[in-house]
Structure 1
């Protein structure tokens, strides 16, 4: 597309739209109709320029013009409880469901890595000695040692808040940094699995694996699932950079990026639940079977939420992206 010719042909329409938007008086019916038509045309022009001949200065001017026109045509839109209901009932679970082909394998591979690391550490005393001195290891793994007191060493409310903040930050980093071809996501995942494997290996070598699982499983099932979902989504976002499919790379990244941001909010709520379990249930005096049962129930509820509500919404066309009225206008482009 010859940008200079395109601008010369359509400049008058853009100037007319700008003039209508600057009117102080109330528009007549004919002028209002004209504003709507010019808004639609300018939005299409903007999409064509972005996909065919991107020019930062012209794109910036038309983006501002389209945003002003959209506000004039549709009015200022405010978030409502309807948006919250749609997000929690359709958008978020559908986005997680659509990403299942990424986060389920991520969960299986990561768990396998953690178990193998734990087995390697637990069966090799020389590896254990490289982690810490024997006296320190005994202090960590003995009854009433640091592994056990970690969950009850701070007030439950403060501990739950701290855990939630740390986990939500890790999930958000997986989602955001996925755009860098997913490489930072792999490192974050490895660090998490290494920490899990170290605890698994050291406690198993001390003959206290049952205690370790009783401390980790109540909150860990839901917490790790949220991390796996974030990591899988981040990896999918990274793959979108490599292979955007039939969409343009810009469009694909915009759609998947918006869905990922929404998932960060949803996963923060999921991690709030797991943080509450870790702060109040894990260190509680409940029997081990009851604590683990609460963790399993929370995990099953989340999976049902994703596969039942999310699956139904995804089959109905929900993607987790913004509603059409809130997205920038776009036009089909040739592959």
Structure 2
């Protein structure tokens, strides 16, 4: 193959193609020309690759073809419509579809935690078995309240954000195995129940609930959602709907899991800011609790108002249609 003759014959087309790729705007005729030259260039590149021993020429033409392809197909750009759809449809819909699961988790967790709290408060000697007498005394005197002011607020917020996001990620990832999610929830219930029971037994219930409530409402709800969505994925594997294969059921539930995982990153960021800046703030306790409760109720309202509007058929996973969920 005479490479020089081939380049002389088609080089003008390649230069014109490269020129069109660099133009900011193209009129309809130029777009048609771009498409035609691109199609010819891909064929000519194939010929050169099979017959030409000149790698530099092949590389140069390959770059022109790739540039033309990028101009024709367009580069991915951030889409505000995609963000809007995620916030108004994807996220609330995914959380809503898992509502029976995370509501059940929230109910079981709350009952277990308050049962442990009542037991420890009613039997103060059991605190020694869990954390020791000295640690219990230190917890009541300064340890619990001091936890919220031990580090600077920005550092504390970042630590809380990453810790809670990691816990949620573990709940989502371990959901397919069911049991690990129960273990993670049990650990957190033990921690809150024992600490709360110790504080109540020493007559510091006001300090405990005054500090944990502002951020705890939103933070624990995020954990419940992560656990519920994770368990829903596991159940889709164990008992898929009749109309879906096991793989299809897990894939659909898994897609919801991805949406929830992204949303929880933002939720835990808000919870971390509340815990780092509002919980230890020198404000009246009712005001701090009201602030946290308002944000928590805003999140629940967001899910309850937007979640049921998602299409009930496209996301059927565990045999429950959207129009059959409790409203």
The CA distance in 2 between the partners of 1:82 and 1:247, in whole Å, is 30
C-alpha RMSD of matched pairs (Å) = 2.5
Give the structure 2 partner of residue 84 of structure 1. 83
Is the contact between residue 124 and residue 198 of structure 2 (CA under 8 Å) also seen in structure 1?
A: no
Give the structure 1 partner of residue 260 of structure 2. 263
Secondary structure of 2:244's counterpart equals coil
Give the structure 1 partner of residue 297 of structure 2. 300
Does the alignment pair 1:291 with 2:298?
no
Give the structure 2 partner of residue 139 of structure 1. 138
Give the structure 2 partner of residue 277 of structure 1. 274
Secondary structure of 1:264's counterpart equals helix
Give the structure 1 partner of residue 207 of structure 2. 211
The CA distance in 2 between the partners of 1:127 and 1:178, in whole Å, is 32
Give the structure 2 partner of residue 190 of structure 1. 186
**Bigger shift: 183-192 or 214-223?**
183-192
Once the two structures are TM-superposed, the CA of residue 161 in structure 1 deviates from its matched residue by: 0.8
Closer/same/farther in 2, CA of residues 159 and 314 from structure 1, 3 Å limit = farther
Once the two structures are TM-superposed, the CA of residue 135 in structure 1 deviates from its matched residue by: 2.8
How many residues of Structure 1 are paired with residues of Structure 2 in the alignment? 253
The CA distance in 1 between the partners of 2:176 and 2:80, in whole Å, is 31
Once the two structures are TM-superposed, the CA of residue 121 in structure 1 deviates from its matched residue by: 1.4
Is the contact between residue 97 and residue 311 of structure 1 (CA under 8 Å) also seen in structure 2?
A: yes
Gaps of 5+ in 2: 1-35, 41-69, 318-327
Once the two structures are TM-superposed, the CA of residue 136 in structure 1 deviates from its matched residue by: 2.5
Is the contact between residue 89 and residue 306 of structure 2 (CA under 8 Å) also seen in structure 1?
A: yes
Aligned partner (choices 218, 224, 246) of residue 222 of structure 1 = 218
Is the contact between residue 223 and residue 274 of structure 1 (CA under 8 Å) also seen in structure 2?
A: yes
The CA distance in 2 between the partners of 1:319 and 1:75, in whole Å, is 30
Higher relative contact order (CA 8 A, sep 6+): 1
TM-score normalised by the chain length of structure 1? 0.71
**Bigger shift: 128-137 or 145-154?**
128-137
Is the contact between residue 91 and residue 319 of structure 1 (CA under 8 Å) also seen in structure 2?
A: no
Structure showing greater radius of gyration is: 2
The CA distance in 2 between the partners of 1:235 and 1:289, in whole Å, is 35
Is the contact between residue 237 and residue 253 of structure 1 (CA under 8 Å) also seen in structure 2?
A: yes
Give the structure 2 partner of residue 148 of structure 1. 145
Aligned partner (choices 166, 169, 175) of residue 166 of structure 2 = 169
Gaps of 5+ in 1: 1-23, 29-70, 322-335
1:1-335 aligned within 5 A? 26-27=38-39, 77-142=76-141, 145-180=142-177, 182-245=178-241, 246-314=243-311, 319=315
The CA distance in 1 between the partners of 2:121 and 2:290, in whole Å, is 27
Secondary structure of 1:175's counterpart equals helix
